[in-house]
Structure 1
């Protein structure tokens, strides 16, 4: 099989040599410079671009690789930000797999909710924003708070919760300035937010876990720590069943997934879905605690191969969790504690060193700390997360200009 990998990652999950036999398959890459150390020397072809955000440039590079190496049998584009580019490559190069119309179900928030609403799944009331005035009209129709969000962004970037006329005025001003062609508005549904992660095949879970967030992605986009803990019991079972109903309605039959749900007072409400592995620490804790390599087994399924880790040790009764603490924009880190060995259930941490300068925006672009947990009960994991939030006290100072 001739495989094209379109990759922007540069961590251990970008070690495609661990997932794809580079002697059995011809593997070509369109990638970024920081990924080069992870690429096996047996790779058939490597094209390096400065970045992958220019879709036309990436598609042209893929066409050039195919002309040099022969027609691809499979395109692997696993990042959320490369799903649409991967679909376009398949269309242009004549490669089987998800095309732009199918990928749109998992990238465009209006499309995904339209498909599910038509299938009878409960979703928030929503509308496409064709002009800023649509937001005020929708808010009057709903009669309560609304959420304004980009149609194809992740991690709540660009989202606004509008409770009152003052907040509405601020959002309208921003949209008038930045443009509104790619936004939607939906009713705000109150309740805890869950995420369900795993791999689905033929309308059944090969592996899945339901987790409840600590804080929200919306708060995280504004600089608040974000975490979650896997849950057990009837509510978790209901979230898993609801997830499978959503994936079936969307026609996702052979893929990794990350789906978010609002636990409203009247039952689960769909929030959004991605046809890829969840971000943050999700892939790490699923591997460490349950022994399931969701990225590796997702790739193996696409290759038509048998998953290697699903079912091997995924029956672990431990509970997994994680926490990410974003850094404050425009500040330099002076000191931070290490919590390793001080909090029961905390098994891994990744910390920045003092002196680091947070030049980017707040909201998860750069992390002060990443923490991973495993314990015997949900309460133990949530207690460990709360203990971390209390103990992880960092000292920073504002900087007048970017660090060099």
Structure 2
């Protein structure tokens, strides 16, 4: 029986363990959390940090694995590439995965290879607000500006500052530092939107070509600042010209980086004059169960595809360019700290709900939603057409809510 090393056993990652077992692979799981749910599904479990590259390499060698997968995990993506590259297993180039995994390297790569990108500069954790403001003025950067960690995902630690206010800069630096492992932050100019929503979703690459196009657009809760996505909707709403330009940029970047296979998470702002600007191209499947949503939409099991391709099996057809079906997700979240009591869904929207995944139970303590890691669950919805989807998305936050004590 061939073995696969799976890096991460969270609730969202259990589906990859289940898919691997369904395909007949022996599953070896690593996760540093003692209470991760994945350990109860895997054949072998090691309580070890997935960011410890050398330890993961040792475990991979000990277990004789034939593939490595960091499903839906930014921190472990470089580890998976490192281990696989060292052992001669299927992987994308480690250098490219590193570029995609740290925002300051990504911005430098974009600028150096002719891709549209905002003006940006890396900032060390520990730099004072005065120092950072001096850098901003020295680089002649325009407000508003964004401060965020360079090795975090899910919009964790992100702040937007619209004026040279020392106190705001100090708070933003402290927030970003709290989510930084590499102790490098980034300061960058804010991109003005030409299309009103961030383009999100996933693509899947086969032999260097994007063969699965799962471009959607992000829903936001502007009552809580609007920085953290609270769902994805399909169709995205892009015009034909905008979609063509986004696809061209994604494929060009995939080619430039030498990405050979696998699922990539996309975040793009379409700016003025329909110019696409990359926020991220993550070297892993998207969070918030995006692969499940896209599998529902396309009929192609992307979780299974991730496992197969990590094991060197490229026999599974992946081709998908969209089909016009109207789907969305809504990420359940709390607006304040408290105790989760129940989920409330209005009768008007209940008929569109076809799956609900809960991460919490009544009586669990919850925190305010300031990053994807604070999600309480995900609701999946389907609609008759795009017009019905548009109407529903305007009021989802009122029709689906969590009761907090």
TM-score bin, normalised by smaller chain: 0.7 to 0.9
Aligned residue for 2:143, secondary structure, equals coil
The reply to whether residue 82 of structure 1 matches residue 76 of structure 2 is yes
Aligned residue for 2:153, secondary structure, equals coil
Aligned residue for 1:288, secondary structure, equals helix
TM-score by length of 1: 0.81
Structure possessing the higher radius of gyration over alpha carbons: 1
Task: Tell me how large the CA RMSD over aligned residues is.
Answer: 3.4
Q: 1:357 to 1:181 in 2, by over 3 A?
A: closer
Q: Which residue in the other structure is 1:171 paired with?
A: 172
How far is 1:183 from its partner?
A: 0.7
Decide which moves more: 288-297 or 125-134. 125-134
The reply to whether residue 349 of structure 1 matches residue 346 of structure 2 is no
Q: Which residue in the other structure is 1:6 paired with?
A: 7
Any residues of structure 2 matched to 1:4-403 within 5 Å, and which? 4-10=5-11, 11-18=14-21, 20-22=23-25, 28-31=28-31, 34-39=37-42, 43=43, 46-49=44-47, 52=49, 55-56=51-52, 59-60=54-55, 62-64=57-59, 66-67=61-62, 69-70=63-64, 72-78=65-71, 79-90=73-84, 97-98=91-92, 100-130=94-124, 131-132=127-128, 133=130, 135-140=132-137, 141-166=140-165, 167-172=168-173, 181-191=183-193, 192-215=197-220, 225-231=230-236, 233-234=239-240, 235-266=242-273, 267-308=275-316, 310-311=318-319, 316-339=323-346, 342-343=349-350, 345-351=352-358, 353-358=361-366, 362-397=370-405
Structure 2 residues without counterparts, runs of 5 or longer: none
Structure 1 residues without counterparts, runs of 5 or longer: 398-404
Does the 8 Å contact 1:19/1:300 carry over to 2?
no
CA distance, structure 1, for counterparts of residue 211 and residue 229 of structure 2: 33
Aligned residues: 383
TM-score by length of 2: 0.81
How far is 1:332 from its partner?
A: 1.7
Q: 1:220 to 1:89 in 2, by over 3 A?
A: farther
CA distance, structure 1, for counterparts of residue 169 and residue 390 of structure 2: 35
Q: 1:173 to 1:323 in 2, by over 3 A?
A: closer
CA distance, structure 2, for counterparts of residue 5 and residue 205 of structure 1: 24
Does the 8 Å contact 2:56/2:79 carry over to 1?
no
Aligned residue for 2:391, secondary structure, equals helix
Does the 8 Å contact 1:345/1:381 carry over to 2?
no
Q: With CA pairs under 8 Å and 6+ residues apart, which has the higher RCO, 1 or 2?
A: 2
CA distance, structure 1, for counterparts of residue 354 and residue 27 of structure 2: 35
CA distance, structure 2, for counterparts of residue 75 and residue 153 of structure 1: 21
